[in-house]
Amino acid sequence: MALDDETGCDGTTDEPQARFVGLLTAAHDRLLGYVLSLVGRRHDAEDVLQKASLVMWQKFHTFAPESDFLAWATTICFYEARNFLRLAARSPHCFDDALLAILAAER
């Protein structure tokens, strides 16, 4: 069975996936900046955005095409960042940068 460019390996159309990837790619830098403003560290922001991107894909069927993708995506990012910060606050191993530098130097 030959598959054309718009058909995935499972025989389904890739149109929603291509649309999602295009929207997410266009909004990526703004979303990363937004998440960074919420969590404070770039590495954490990248992790939160990755998790939020997965949630966005899982919920993409609920996104209304005529609505604002960035507004929809930042709402998901907000809740993922809030969850990240809540879990980080509960972590018994939350060290500040100065202590981490001392520990690294002692190593």
Q: Say what the pLDDT of residue 3 is.
A: 44
Whether pTM > 0.75 for this model: the answer is no
Q: Say what the pLDDT of residue 64 is.
A: 95
Q: Say what the pLDDT of residue 98 is.
A: 81
User: What's the token pair of residue 35?
Assistant: 């998440």
Which portions of the chain are predicted below pLDDT 70?
Answer: 1-13, 92-95, 107
Q: Say what the pLDDT of residue 53 is.
A: 98
pLDDT digit string (tens) for 83-102? Answer: 999 998 877 666 677 877 88
Q: Say what the pLDDT of residue 84 is.
A: 95
Q: Say what the pLDDT of residue 58 is.
A: 97
Helix, strand, coil proportions of the chain in percent (round to 5)?
75, 0, 25
Q: Coil, helix or strand for 7?
A: strand
In Å, what is the CA distance from 80 to each residue of 2, 12, 38, 73, 105? 40, 30, 10, 11, 33
In Å, what is the CA distance from 79 to each residue of 82, 83, 99? 5, 6, 29
